[in-house]
Structure 1
């Protein structure tokens, strides 16, 4: 019996938390699929991203804030990749979220574990994502932000390869598709000769 691996609901393979959030829109360049559109998905994403320890009931305002942060990060990273000027109003939106209340790490003396002390865990989660985006977009790694070369994907990722020649968000997904298409085209071309 062949075991089928179920697809993950969310992708956390971009290399940075701030880039994982825009990855919740798959095939952004062709037929966008918003994986946060289903009921409860934004809360599950925050939990699966290890930003929350429990599954909260998000308000419409909280879900909207998460989606707005996603599009803010996407637009800034996309502009950066294209070499365009970053829109000041979009940078201001990112900075406003990054200035929010961050969780305060606390050490539990009995268990020697760290817990996060925070009044509003959802807002703190958004702040963490925004601060990661500020650090990434304004730091030395910004030149390593890329968009997948697969024309229908365009997922953002951090190229940590030594040569900085990575082209696809994932070799298992888009890289495999691209190489398969190239192989099929070579076969087709060789059969025509």
Structure 2
């Protein structure tokens, strides 16, 4: 029996921002990086899962390269901006991606759904992601961007908790792993003391 990965398992959308969700497509950046956009068609599937396309687009190698370049520029820009720095190359890539006009919303009379019309849907999607990054690092949420405390993860996320004390990208993943590790350390110490 072949079990297909669900889009939810393949991609993470828990950073609090679209641009950070793209940056999170490299998991475990601090230890053993895993690029979840490396497999064939993954970029198109991510764009669909992110809500930027109704159907996963087929991306050319150039399209994939453009998406990955934007991802890395966002990572560099956001991490540097947390320290008040704005790397020129990353800024240039994000600005270039943001230049493309956004799509035009159109109401479908048959379904009542909103369709976004664009001459270049991929450029529009990339522009949305880049504009989100610009909005994030120039707005009030910049002070709420954090890096996951799990040493091998380091995913960026927006801390929207009321106290501003969130430590992990996800309590179900990294938070749970950290708590299990702390529990084991505590009980190993208790056993040695006896």
Residue of structure 2 equivalent to 1:112: 112
Residue 157 of structure 1 aligns to a residue whose secondary structure is strand
| Structure 2 unpaired stretches of 5+ | none
Deviation at 1:110, TM superposition (A): 4.7
Q: Distance in 1 between matches of 2:75 and 2:66?
A: 14
Q: Deviations over 1:116-160 (max 9, x none)?
A: 110111111100000111111111110011110000000111100
Residue of structure 2 equivalent to 1:17: 18
TM-score norm. by structure 1 comes to 0.93
Residue 37 of structure 1 aligns to a residue whose secondary structure is coil
Residue of structure 2 equivalent to 1:169: 169
TM-score norm. by structure 2 comes to 0.92
Residue 134 of structure 2 aligns to a residue whose secondary structure is helix
Q: Distance in 1 between matches of 2:137 and 2:33?
A: 24
Q: Distance in 1 between matches of 2:26 and 2:172?
A: 18
Aligned residues: 188
Residue 24 of structure 2 aligns to a residue whose secondary structure is helix
Residue of structure 1 equivalent to 2:184: 184
TM alignment of 1:5-84, pairs within 5 A: 8-81=9-82, 83-84=83-84
Deviation at 1:112, TM superposition (A): 3.0
| Structure 1 unpaired stretches of 5+ | none
